[in-house]
Amino acid sequence: MLGVSTSGYYDWLNRPPSPRQLDDKHLIPLITEIFNSQRNGCGTRVIKKALSRQGFQLSRRRIGRLMKLAGLKCKTRKKFKATTDSRHHYPVAPNLLNRAFVVDKPNRTWVGDITYVWTDEGWLYLAMVIDLFSRRVVGWSMDKKMKTSLVNNALLMAIWQRKPERGLLWHTDRGSQYASDSHREILADHGITQSMSRKGNCWDNAVAESFFHTLKVELIHQSRFKTREEAKQAIFDYIEVFYNRQRLHSTNDYWSPVDYEKMNKVS
């Protein structure tokens, strides 16, 4: 009577409703769930991509309107002070990276930097290593002092975990920790080529700067840490549980770093 096949009818019957069939009342919980899963740090672009993977095709304008109705607003960023002290007698490496932040294979180019976190016990310093291929944090170290061992431990952790081939490019700022004799010895032992940003140019290490901005917006500025150990645990959870495995990254076509590496068969 209806002029459709049995299989076509059952396909229609089991098909999820289209976004036009879903009213605002049903879409807002979906959008809120995605928003909360990204630690309240995502906008319409990320939500649009996440919804499309669930079979819902919505415009960013409509998503923005529904976010406003739900009272969802991205966290804003704050300005930060620099932690780099380039006034030292150590040799400075040239800027070999030259802002080539898009890399087609893992363990070809890593970037690193240092930041600080306030606790009731005083400052906690964090050094990290990021693989530009997937934006995955592959090494980190935390300490109450900003010594050379801080950056050395972060790099050694990344080397131990990833076991890169010789020829890896390692880019940082001109800080004395990265220019020190002991740090350059580690690079020489593992066949790693050193690259450094130009003096006073934060854009030369934009990926590392961006990660720290994200960390502070999504975790640090929303928390008060009584002890350094409390801060260490929160940062570990953020990096390993959330950032590497759950946070959708625009450079990875809105896949998390771990999922992006799995898709590209990175062990």
> How many Cα neighbours within 13 Å face the side chain of 207?
27
Co-location of 157 and 248 in the same domain: yes
Choose the weakest-confidence range: 14-23, 170-179, 205-214, 226-235: 14-23
Co-location of 51 and 158 in the same domain: no
Co-location of 23 and 149 in the same domain: no
Q: How far is the C-alpha of 140 from the C-alpha of 135, rounded, in Å?
A: 14
47 lies in some domain = yes
Domain-terminating residue out of 70, 98, 123 = 70
- 87 CA to centre of own chain: 29
Q: How far is the C-alpha of 87 from the C-alpha of 81, rounded, in Å?
A: 16
Q: Which domain range does residue 32 map to?
A: 6-70
Q: What is the mean pLDDT of residues 233-257?
A: 94
pLDDT at 265: 81
Co-location of 136 and 246 in the same domain: yes
In tens, the pLDDT along 168-177 reads 999 999 999 9
Q: How far is the C-alpha of 53 from the C-alpha of 56, rounded, in Å?
A: 7
- Residue 156 belongs to a domain with what CATH number? 3.30.420.10
Co-location of 37 and 115 in the same domain: no
DSSP helix, strand, coil percent of the chain (3-state; round to 5): 45, 15, 40
94 lies in some domain = no
Q: How confident is the model at residue 197 (pLDDT cuts 50, 70, 90)?
A: very high
Phi-psi region of 167 (alpha: psi -120 to 50; beta: other; left: phi over 0): left
Co-location of 258 and 152 in the same domain: yes
Question: Is 60 exceeded by the pLDDT of residue 236?
Answer: yes
Question: Which of 190 and 36 is assigned the larger pLDDT?
Answer: 190
Q: What is the mean pLDDT of residues 64-93?
A: 67
pTM over the 0.95 mark: no
Co-location of 241 and 133 in the same domain: yes
Co-location of 144 and 237 in the same domain: yes
Domain-terminating residue out of 16, 49, 70 = 70
Q: What is the mean pLDDT of residues 122-146?
A: 97
99 lies in some domain = no
Co-location of 113 and 201 in the same domain: yes
Domain-terminating residue out of 40, 70, 100 = 70
Question: Which of 82 and 238 is assigned the larger pLDDT?
Answer: 238
pLDDT at 81: 47
The count of structural domains within the chain is 2
**Which residues are CB-neighbours of 53 under 8 A, at least 6 positions away?**
none
Is residue 161 classed as helix, strand or coil in its secondary structure? helix
77 lies in some domain = no
Co-location of 148 and 54 in the same domain: no
pLDDT at 241: 95
Co-location of 115 and 48 in the same domain: no
What does residue 111 show for φ and ψ, rounded to 5 degrees? Answer: -125, 155
Co-location of 53 and 170 in the same domain: no
79 lies in some domain = no
Helix orientation angle between 148-162 and 181-189, rounded to the nearest 10 degrees: 10
Choose the weakest-confidence range: 9-13, 51-55, 99-103, 212-216: 9-13
Q: How confident is the model at residue 75 (pLDDT cuts 50, 70, 90)?
A: low
